[in-house]
Amino acid sequence: MTEIRVPDIGDVDEVEVIELCVAVGDVVAVDDPVVVIESDKASMEVPATAAGTVASVSVAVGDTVRQGDLLIVLEGAGESVEPSEPSAPPAKETPPATEPAPPVEKASPAAQAQAAVIDVLVPDIGDASDVVVIEVAVQAGDTVAEDDLLVVVESDKASMEIPSPHGGTVKEVLVSVDMPVQTGTLLLRLETAGSDAAPTEPAKAAAPPREAAPAAPAEPAQAEAPKQPSSAPASSNKSVYAGPAVRRLARELGVDLSGVKGTGSRGRITKDDVKAHVKSRMQTQGATSGGSGIPPIPAQDYSRFGPVEVEPLTRIRRVGAENLHRSWLNVPHVTQQDEADVTDLEAFRKGLKAEAERRGIKVTPLAFLVKACCQLLKQHPRFNASLDAGNENFILKRYYHIGLAVDTEQGLVVPVVRDADQKGIWELSEEIAELADKARNGKLGMTDLQGGTFSISSLGGIGGTGFTPIVNAPEVAILGVSRMVTKPVWNGAEFAPRSMLPLSLSYDHRAINGAEAGRFMTELCQTISDLRRALL
Ligand code: CAO
């Protein structure tokens, strides 16, 4: 059993737990960070002093703790190290200092209001080893204001920002990312216009390091440096408020933290923020990977215009949205519109009503459409196909599994009627009702949703005269069905009332050309108009 407690935190009384890196049951190795604590000036990772399994966690994010307070209990055999090293990072290394070191030497009266070039050095970082530059926030020529971020350095336990001791212009930057540094290393030269810095002798003390302190910037211990005009800080100078674990993660993932929005307390960037940033970048890049260069829709504060509510998308909606977006971006869609005369079909369907009731089945036009589509798919195999990964071959499927879009409370799902070509109208009607019922009660299994070769989206029970369904990729076509209406149709001698069913066939234009789609649709309408054709 090993207890991990709050290490020496220097001369601050209390620090806040800002991140739990482990949970009960996690296996940790020596030196793995277990908790991140933070004062108003610095954050520090508390590492595991032994390898083992986390048996209990005694703190929660937001708790205030003092030196020696119990954080984590580890159990199980494991290598252990002296708690003072490295579990207790020296206060100097992760400075929770409340008394900032003086940032610059005071200028002689003669130097007042004169330009001077001062050296900005790495401040006292104690006995921290392996300190490297992880961020250089300025370049030669940049104008900075006092306290603007210049450089971020990091040891294996903490990162610290080195702010500008004065307003001025960066003359020369002498370090670059990954360069090892130590106390006193010359970072850059700064020309301070009319500064209080000594003009001939460079200032030897940099401003105190700080961990992107959200609190008020450390005041110079001595004379005030003149503030720069408001033109100063470019976005690159912006302070990034993140702890070492987060900075390390960002570096591993190649994330520029200045572009990440922090959701932690006082705007601190958390690991989750970095991950969310990467996810959103990947989604945007995924959207643009086809060269479409789609600019993201800027976020807005809608509450500026009136009351709003936030309603999270259900998991089904989120997954559905991703699928539809992917399909929309990858598939060049064309939609062929037509109307089928279903007067005779409707007469036949209504004639089945009594028998359907006896069987306890509801027969809608959809079952006939499934049947007719199977017939057409056999005659036009490229509609029952997918393109292979290189878009060089059709994969023609010799099975006819028809996906049916079902509207549920949770979102849109597309269960599949397997081997629909081998089923009659009774069986199809029964299966459609069963699948719709399972979908609406969240009872669909994975196999119910897989293997579709062609889809139908029927809004006929709802209404509408036509729409453009999105192809359910990697399928290459989908039939949209709208509401049947009775219309006067010219029969060569007169206008006669006919039941007309609007159909919308969306297809992947890479796989199917317009003439093929036109023929498919024309023949589909003929088949539905006279299902005897399905016997031909
Ligand atoms: N024209 C006129 N009436 C129609 C019709 C049409 N094209 N299609 C169905 N109807 C009638 C039915 O006959 C039924 O009438 P009764 O209640 O008098 O018997 C009524 O409309 C309701 O039908 P239904 O919707 O319950 O059954 P269905 O077999 O037509 O459809 C299902 C089943 C699961 C596909 C459907 O309920 C559904 O969820 N549709 C929505 C699909 C969807 O969301 N698509 C959009 C996807 S893209 O965002």
How far is Cα 213 from Cα 149, in angstroms, rounded to an integer?
11
Contact yes or no for 4/46 (Cβ under 8 A)? yes
Q: Ligand 1, atom 32: nearest CA belongs to which residue?
A: 406
145 pLDDT band, cuts 50/70/90, is confident
- Residue 205 banded pLDDT, cuts 50, 70, 90: very low
Q: Residues 114-123: what's their mean pLDDT?
A: 84
**Is pLDDT above 80 for 59?**
yes
Determine the pLDDT at residue 515.
Answer: 98
pLDDT at residue 349, rounded to an integer = 96
Q: Give me the mean pLDDT over the 17-24 stretch.
A: 85
pLDDT at 62: 83
* Ligand 1, atom nearest to 484 Cα: 1
461 Cα: distance to centroid of ligand 1 (angstroms): 3
- Looking up tokens 């709050």 gives 6
Q: What H or E segment, with its residue span, contains residue 486? A: strand 485-490
Radius of gyration of the chain (CA): 35
pLDDT at position 285 is 60
Between 26 and 268, the higher pLDDT residue: 26
What DSSP state is assigned to residue 478?
Answer: E
- Give the range among 209-213, 315-319, 457-461 with minimum mean pLDDT: 209-213
pLDDT, mean of residues 256-266: 81
Q: Among 431, 458, 504, which is best to mutate for testing ligand 1, by the most ligand atoms less than 8 A from CB?
A: 458
For residue 164, the model assigns a pLDDT of 86
User: 389-410: buried (b, 16+ CB within 10 Å) or exposed (e) per residue?
Assistant: eeeeebeebeebbbbbbbbbee
325 is catalytic: no
276, exposed or middle or buried, with CB in 10 Å at 0-12, 13-18, 19+? middle
pLDDT band at 238 (very low <50, low <70, confident <90, very high): very low
The top-scoring range by mean pLDDT among 33-37, 388-392, 493-497 is: 493-497
In the predicted model, what is the mean pLDDT of the chain? 81
DSSP 87-138: SS--TTTS---SSPPP-SPPPPGGGTTEEEEEEEE----TT--S-EEEEE--
Q: How confident is the model at residue 95 (pLDDT cuts 50, 70, 90)?
A: very low
Determine phi and psi for 138, rounding to 5 degrees.
Answer: -135, 165
- What per-residue confidence (pLDDT) applies to 466? 97
Domains and CATH numbers, the chain: 2-75 (2.40.50.100), 114-212+226-239 (2.40.50.100), 240-310 (4.10.320.10), 316-535 (3.30.559.10)
The confidence score (pLDDT) of residue 351 equals: 96
Q: Is the pLDDT of residue 214 over 50?
A: no
Quote the ligand 1 centre to 128 CA distance (angstroms): 70
158, pLDDT greater than 80: no
Of all protein residues, the one whose alpha carbon is nearest to atom 26 of ligand 1 is 461
In the chain, the amino acid numbered 433 is: A
Q: Provide, rounded to the nearest whole percent, the portion of the chain with pLDDT above 90.
A: 50
Inter-residue contact 140 to 184 (CB < 8 Å):
no
What is the predicted pLDDT for the residue at 109?
A: 39
- In sequence order, the β-bridge partners of residue 505 are 336, 479
Instruction: Quote the tokens at residue 520.
Output: 């498919």
Tell me, what DSSP letter sits at residue 293? -
Residue 452 C-alpha to ligand 1 middle, in angstroms? 20
Q: What's the mean pLDDT in 77-82?
A: 53
Residue 467 CA: distances (Å) to CA of 377, 429, 498, 506, 516: 21, 24, 21, 9, 20
Query: Which pLDDT does position 286 carry in this prediction?
Result: 52
- In the DSSP assignment, the letter for residue 404 is E
Q: What is the pLDDT of residue 224?
A: 31
**Largest CA-CA distance found in the chain, in angstroms, rounded:** 110
Q: How many CA atoms lie within 13 A of 488 on its CB side?
A: 3
Residue 526 has pLDDT above 90, yes or no: yes
Residue 365 has pLDDT above 90, yes or no: yes
Residue 228, SS3 per DSSP: coil
pLDDT of 473 higher than 80: yes
**Which of 25-34, 125-134, 198-207, 374-383 is the most confident on average?**
374-383
- Non-local CB neighbours of 437 within 8 Å, separated by 6+ positions: 443
Does residue 409 have a pLDDT over 60?
A: yes
Query: Is pLDDT larger for residue 208 or for residue 512?
Result: 512
- Residue 364, pLDDT above cutoff 70: yes
Q: What pLDDT score does 324 carry?
A: 96
Q: Report which secondary-structure segment, H or E, holds 335.
A: strand 333-341
Identify which has the larger pLDDT, 366 or 117: 366
Rounded to 5°, angle at Cα 416 from 314 and 458: 75
Report the length, in residues, of the chain: 536
Provide the percentage of residues in the chain whose pLDDT is more than 70: 80
Residue 197 — pLDDT band, cuts 50, 70, 90?
very low
Q: What is the mean pLDDT of residues 502-516?
A: 98
When pLDDT is cut at 50, 70 and 90, the band that residue 45 belongs to is confident
User: 501 alpha carbon to ligand 1 midpoint, in Å?
Assistant: 13
Which candidate, 287, 430, 316, 321, places its Cα nearest to that of 370? 430
Q: What is the dihedral of CA 417, 423, 427, 433, to 10 degrees?
A: 20
Please give the average per-residue pLDDT across 276-300, as a whole number: 72
Pocket of ligand 1 (CB under 6 A): 362, 364-366, 404-407, 412, 432, 436, 457-461, 469, 481, 483-484, 501
pLDDT of residue 210: 36
pLDDT at 101 over 90: no
pLDDT at 202 over 60: no
pTM above threshold 0.75: no
Mean pLDDT of 385-393: 95
Q: Beta 411-413 vs 2-5: how paired, if at all?
A: unpaired
Q: What angle do CA 489, 494, 498 make, to 5 degrees?
A: 30
Residue whose CA lies nearest to ligand 1 atom number 37: 406
Nearest protein CA to atom 25 of ligand 1, as residue: 461
**Residues 329 and 285: beta-carbon distance below 8 Å:** no
